[in-house]
Amino acid sequence: MAKGGDFTSNLGRIYGIYTGGFVTFVVIIGILEQLGVPNRILGYLFVAMTIAVYAGIGILSRTMQVSEYYVAGRKVPAFYNGMATAADWMSAASFIGMAGTLYAQGYTGLGFVLGWTGGYVLVAVLIAPYLRKFGAYTVPDFLGARYGGNVARLLGVIVLFCCSFTYIVAQVYGTGIVTSRFLGISFEVAVFVGLGGILVCSMLGGMRAVTWTQVAQYIVLIVAYIIPVLILSTQRTGIPLPQLTYGSVLQDVSALEATKEAVQGATAHIATPKDTIGWVNFLALILCLMIGTASLPHVLMRYFTTPSVRDARKSVGWSLLFIFLLYFTAPAYAVFAKAEVYQNVLGADISTPAAIQALFEQARWLVTYGKLGLVKICGATIDPAADLAMAADAIFQVCQAKGTAILNFPNFAIDNDVIVIATPEIAGLPYVISGLVAAGGLAAALSTADGLLLAIANALSHDIYYRMIDQHASTARRLTIARILLVGVAVIAAIVAISRPSDILSMVAWAFSLAAAGLFVPLTLGVWWKRTTSAGAVLGMITGFGVCLYYLVGTRYFPESFISMWRPDDVVAKMGELQAAVGTAADDAAKTAAQGALTKFLGAEAKWWGINNISCALFGLPVNLIVTVVVSLVTPAPSKEMQDFIDNVRIPKGETLMAEK
């Protein structure tokens, strides 16, 4: 990679050539498809070529300079940092999960769009420029310096690790979905294949490599996201502006739901928060996502890389623009995908094995995703080892037992996380478009995973090892430790992802709530309230983060204990009755029904005031704020030197305050 000034001064030309090369590659794949090259080979080419390019950038950006590894030398222009931040931000949750959630939940899914977008206002106004002026390498670095000791630094690392690890599991899970589909391998193996792509992008060059890789990944993911829905808009309306035409398609969907027997009852596209999670949960989700956005360490780290405070502010603006391009398109993607499913899938004849086999031959994607466990017909997936005839016969047996002769809405389920990936195939578009979308989904997951891994590894190596264990460690030793930790965390995340702990969007929302509950108050008050003391910040972080984590883990994994501890006796008694019904069920069908009733009961009654655990920051955040303020007021004020230091942090001009080592 060329040296700083030479490289950054030619970024436009370099990425222009890269974009042209990527478009040429897609055209070549399209030509190969027309020439009869098998789709499996094309899938390998898409995945291999994109990962190879990212790996090449990572290798060329390798460095042994601490500043380059941690903050890319603080010389990333605002425009390109905005693009890298957008890629860092638009993870598998945005690329893969967002449209799927809008598909399934209708207007309720807009809570994610509103929360994530609104959070960048808080980033720009309250935090990012001031952390850049401070000059830290990591978020715990700021906490350690602001609150005068390693206790706050250690707590910052713990919160950072918990929220970032939760987030990265979701990204590794996303890479597994994409890779398993387009390489034709099992999900468990695909997770580690995707992990290899993540590591080669970030391990050698740190933030320097991740930055320039993320710019390249943003170009791929935004092109891949917009092209399919642009084609569908042109086919349906004659206008290649899906963001403006999906309203008319939504009306078509409404008409189908009202008139087509197989689709009746499918009203998710017009569902409001009142119909699904309730307005309180909807508003709680928006609040937690907004504040979490302003607290996530891997996002805030991106603003450490700009040349100045002014560039950090401009970078936030560019980030919002680049993120807007995808979020503005996501509702259109959901509507066009739903229209294709309603017209091309629902209503199909499944009254005989031959009819089902004919459906499978016409819509091969049903078999592909059914074998991955991501599509269910009559509640059943497809045996990965089954051929078409065997698969058709097995599905027929299940549907016949349910008395279903047509594939209707209640008997068809597609995982939210594959809506974007599967839509080109559902619509019958050329395979090259499917491969393009896969490349985009992979880029989204890889870019965020790189940033998250770097945030964790840098915090552990810089804040724990260097700041707290060996302050005399050489540069080579520090970077070696960082790389070892990066690989270790990545492998652990992959192992957890294989267990499929939840859907992508839920895991990401947990990360936001954890970050909001633990970091927002000490970061914001650390900049804006000079009276904040070390004791106040430390106790606030412990209690706020502890309450949020307790509620999340308790409602997710120990709902019975939560009900026994917090709910009245009649609710506890009802739980006992349902548990007894599961144990005394006469047959498998009765046991399944009883277990379903118990699960639904536990999910509803374990909650405090009905709040979903993805919004657990609603409890932790106010506890953090109250404890921090009260304890700060009853403990001695920070020193005059520290208060003057905070005054200087809030002045945009001037040199970076923290000396770099």
pLDDT in tens, 40-80: 888 888 878 888 888 788 777 777 677 777 777 788 899 99
Taking residues 566-586, what's their average pLDDT?
A: 85
- The residues near 616 (Cβ < 8 Å, ≥ 6 apart) are 288, 510, 513, 514, 517, 547, 548, 549, 551, 552
How does 323-350 read in b/e, with b if 16+ C-beta sit within 10 Å? beebbebbbbbbbbbbbbbbbebbbbeb
Query: What's the CA angle centered on 10, arms 7 and 16, to 5 degrees?
Result: 120
Q: Is the pLDDT of residue 266 over 70?
A: no
In the block, which residue shows the tokens 């700041």? 467
Q: Is the pLDDT of residue 661 over 70?
A: no
Query: Taking Cα atoms as reference points, which of 657, 660, 661, 659 lies closest to residue 131?
Result: 657
What does the pLDDT read at residue 628? 97
Q: Do residues 270 and 258 touch, judged by C-beta distance below 8 A?
A: no
In the block, which residue shows the tokens 């970030």? 202
Taking residues 567-573, what's their average pLDDT?
A: 87
pLDDT in tens, 217-260: 899 999 999 999 999 999 988 899 898 888 888 888 888 777 77
Give the separation between CA 639 and CA 643, rounded to whole angstroms.
Answer: 6
Domain positions in the chain: 4-340+427-544
Q: Is the pLDDT of residue 106 over 70?
A: yes
Give the separation between CA 81 and CA 539, rounded to whole angstroms.
Answer: 35
Taking residues 492-500, what's their average pLDDT?
A: 84
Give the separation between CA 414 and CA 360, rounded to whole angstroms.
Answer: 15
Give the separation between CA 414 and CA 365, rounded to whole angstroms.
Answer: 11
What share of the chain has pLDDT > 70, as a percent? Answer: 94
Class level of CATH domain 4-340+427-544: mainly alpha
Taking residues 434-444, what's their average pLDDT?
A: 85
In the block, which residue shows the tokens 């890298």? 84
Question: pTM for the complete prediction?
Answer: 0.83
Q: Can you list the alpha helix ranges (DSSP code H) found in 504-635?
A: 504-528, 534-557, 559-566, 569-583, 588-605, 617-634
Q: At what angle do helices 150-183 and 504-528 cross, to 10 degrees?
A: 150
Residue 412, beta-bridge partner list: 377
Q: Do residues 411 and 378 touch, judged by C-beta distance below 8 A?
A: yes
Give the separation between CA 289 and CA 302, rounded to whole angstroms.
Answer: 18
Give the separation between CA 379 and CA 370, rounded to whole angstroms.
Answer: 11
Give the separation between CA 240 and CA 257, rounded to whole angstroms.
Answer: 26
